[in-house]
Structure 1
Amino acid sequence: MDVEHRNMTPPKFTPNDLEEPRLGPFETLLLGGGLALFLALLYEMREFLSPPLIAIAATILLWPLRRYRSVRALLLSGGFLLLFWLLSQLRVVLIPFVVAYLLAYLSNPLVDLLERRLHVPRWVSALTVTVLVVGALAAILLLLIPTIVGQLVELIRQMLNSVGELRRWLYENPLLDRLEEVLPIDRQALIQQFTTFLQQQLNALTQSLPDALATVAQSIGSLLGALTVLAILPMLIFYTLKDYPKLRDALIGLFPKHNGRRDYLMYAGTVVGNYLRGQLLISLIAAFNVSVALLIFDVPFGLLIGLLAGLLNLIPNLGAVLTNIIALLIALLFGDPPLLDAVIVTGVLLGQGLLEASVLSPHILSHQVGLHPVLILLSLFVFGYFLGAFGLLIAVPTTAILVGFYQSYREAREKLAGATTPESTDVTE
């Protein structure tokens, strides 16, 4: 009985028994030869290879070694790069879906209001909001875009014609005479360089507009592709609004947890959503007010100045300064009379600024991001340097989210430090 019991006892393994056997000289030689042949195969297939094929081959090679932390980090970084490559390749296909989700994200509070307050079914409220959004977009495309493009083309044409007049005005300006007396400058060379620079910039602008339109047309593919996108966009907005809570929860589930929770994502969504909705509404009001006021006073390019005021209003602090500078230059160059139009433009923009500061921002933009003005300006310059115009639009909400993450992390660290520090009573004991 004891002998049978001893025979049934499972054998004991040591950690060395679980390790893979070491390769001998012959096996090492075979492994090196196989690696050389694999590299030769990659070289011969260099025209056929693509990032997905390379990622699959790398995964097959590294997967048996995934127990090592460095290998897991390499697989994760490779997957991250492959994901961004796929997004860049599919950006044209994903544009309608991104636009639909963004519009649904911005208009979802209205759907929730109709559903919860008025007890309207979700699909009915989603359909109603979709009709409103699509109608507004159609009105902008059909009514405003042709007029704005026409004014922009006329502005560029007049600026090209005014370069010669500007050159003559500079030659006759007594201010340069006084400047020559103080500084050792060549007046003719300075005027020549300045007018050449303006001519180059205007020529580049006139050439960039057709190139931009051609790029958009090529990215869409054809007129049929554009019509297809316009046709499916309302359907995408409706279904995204209808199932927005499910889609939002699914996207949140893709992100990692922080301290076992994903509250930081809800905070980020609240900050970005409130800020963007408030800023967009204030920008629309500013564009409408400035455009109507300048059209009433018959200021040249009034609609273009109003659109500029609305777009630049999305950039805090810096946008108002840029709007005033550009609007005053347009009024002084093309106004009739220039000084009167400049005074009108200044008064309209000043009135809009006072209305925004005293009425619109306190009531519409009730959820402030809580950032210091110096930090806001710093974020605008940094994001604008790296991402251009798009960086200026996302600088403030992104900075607010980063500050919120840092505050959440600091609070969690302080709580952890307070929990691990022994109390005074424990020390005395």
Structure 2
Amino acid sequence: MTAFETVLIAGGVVLFLVLLYEMEVPSQDGSFLNPLLVSVAGLIMLWPLRRHQTVRALLFSGGMLVLLWTMNQVAGILVMFVGVYLMAYLLNPAVTVLRDSYRVPRWLSSLIAAMIAVGVVVLFVLLLAPNIANQIEAFSDRVVGGVDSLRAWLASSTVLDSLEQAGVIEKQEAIGQAQQFIQEQARQLPEAAQRLARSLGSLLSFVTVLALVPVLFFYTLKDYPSIRDAIIGLFPTASGRRDYLVEAGSIVGRYLRGQLVISAIAAFNVSVFLYIFDIPFWLLIGLMAGVLNFIPNLGAIATMIIGGVIALIFGGWIKALILVAVLLGQGLLEQSLLTPNIMSYQVGLHPVLVLFSLLVFGSFLGIFGLLIAVPATAILTTAYRAYREELTLELSDYGTPDEAKGQGSKPLI
């Protein structure tokens, strides 16, 4: 390696460190440098030496970092496209059935599916969104209004007196901290709604997005097979084939479609029965039961705990017992009827692995990680099985060492 090549590699390492710094400490407004420009400079500097392993490692790692940085910068746009593609992915079987069984042109079946999906969303916004907002506001007001009652109950409780006598806590300080914590958490509910409203941007941009999504969804659903094939083409192959992607996609598709149906049924059933028995904040608890239904095992436990506490505080013991009975009935219905008939899939994951994936994904990505833990783990395990089987097949072509000596086969190494 010449001195000039050494200087270029050293410069590439310096630019890589600058790239890391720019990604960790964003530049001020008006600054010229940004990760994209630094990566372009590094690419120009190292491209003549791309055959060296060190340079290839720098280019690959730097490219991955820039790709992740770019995705983070355009996350708002990507979320819309990912959501549209996911909806097209879920509705593609229905469009395919209409085309194959009833000879409906794909563009017409896609238009019908898009209109139905948009109509469901509009119906949800018009009917449920105002009630959800009202219940969130009422819940926040009830929590804030109940702080004084909680303070009085804590002040009269003998438990805190016993703990103070034992030297474990300071009673007045504990009461003040509990009151402050509850007030802060209660204030975050309306503030979160306000932040969500502000994140939509101006009215013009909101209307633009609202008009763009149905059109984008229609074209994505109409041309879904070609878009899917193009995306699959981006993934690595196993001996020239991508069968593992087809298997993983089939597993995840059946899982998501079945889980969506069961979650919708759970949200409807729980909301209706809680409304009939006049449970406080029935709609919020019902929607929470539907959303958390996506989290195996942990979702039902979390719904029962959170819903039970809400019903106990704002409705009393009888309301809490009714809520627990409703959730237990819904769980029994899912296990005995809904899951065996709707979830016609085999994820192939051991329960211990499912719980492990929930904890790992949840620790890294929060509630979003819990929602995607099972399908993501199914994809990873399917890809690993494909890699392992392909490796076994390749090695089996050479036979055992004894067979290689007797038959004159190629050596293993």
- 1:251 aligns with 231
Question: Take 1:339 and 1:304, find their aligned partners in 2: how far apart are those partners?
Answer: 19
Contact 2:136 / 2:189 at 8 angstroms: preserved in 1?
no
Match of residue 370, structure 1, among 322, 345, 348:
348
1:167 paired to 2:145? no
- Choose which of 184, 202, 215 in structure 2 pairs with 1:235: 215
Which one of 113, 134, 150 corresponds to residue 134 of structure 2? 150
Residue 217 of structure 1: aligned partner: 200
Residue of structure 2 equivalent to 1:135: 119
Aligned match of 2:27: none
Distance, in Å, in 2 between the alignment partners of 1:179 and 1:350 is 36
Matched, 1:358 2:341: no
Unaligned residue ranges in structure 2 (runs of 5+): 19-29, 408-413
Q: Distance in 1 between matches of 2:140 and 2:62?
A: 47
Q: What does the per-residue CA deviation read over 1:194-223, in whole Å, with 9 as the maximum and x for residues that have no partner?
A: 333223332344433323332x133xxx11
RMSD of aligned Cα (Å) = 2.7
CA distance in structure 1 between the partners assigned to 2:163 and 2:69 by the alignment = 55
- Deviation of 1:89 after TM superposition, in Å, equals 2.4
| 3-state SS, counterpart of residue 401 of structure 1 | helix
Q: Tell me by how many angstroms 1:225 deviates.
A: 0.9
Specify the code of the residue in structure 2 equivalent to 1:78. G
Q: CA deviation at 1:297?
A: 1.6
SS of aligned partner of 2:397: helix
**Amino acid of the structure 1 residue aligned with 2:368:** F
Structure 1's unaligned 5+ residue stretches are 1-19
Is contact 2:35–2:66 with CA below 8 Å preserved after alignment?
yes
The normalised TM-score by structure 2 is 0.86
TM-score (norm: length of structure 1): 0.83
- Number of corresponding residues: 388
Secondary structure class of the residue paired with 1:388: helix
In the alignment, the residues of structure 2 paired with residue 188 and residue 426 of structure 1 have an alpha-carbon distance, to the nearest angstrom, of 81
User: Is 1:418 matched up with 2:396?
Assistant: yes
Deviations 1:143-168 (A, max 9, x none): 11111011011101101111111122
State the one-letter code of the partner of 2:223: D
Amino acid at match of 1:375: L
- Shift of the 411–168 alpha-carbon distance from structure 1 to 2, 3 Å rule, reads same
- Find the aligned partners of 1:369 and 1:389 in 2 and give their Cα distance: 21
Q: How far does residue 346 in structure 1 lie from its aligned partner after superposition?
A: 1.3
2:290 matched residue in structure 1: 310
Which piece of structure 1 moves more, 50-59 or 415-424?
415-424
Give the Å deviation of 1:264: 1.5
Q: Name which one, 1 or 2, has greater alpha-carbon Rg.
A: 1
What residue number does 2:102 align with? 118
**Deviations along 1:100-147, whole A, 9 cap, x unmatched?**
211101111111111112221111111111111111111111111111
| CA apart distance, 1:176 | 4.8
Match of 1:391 among 359, 369, 391: 369
Identity across matched positions, percent:
51
Paired letter, 1:255: F
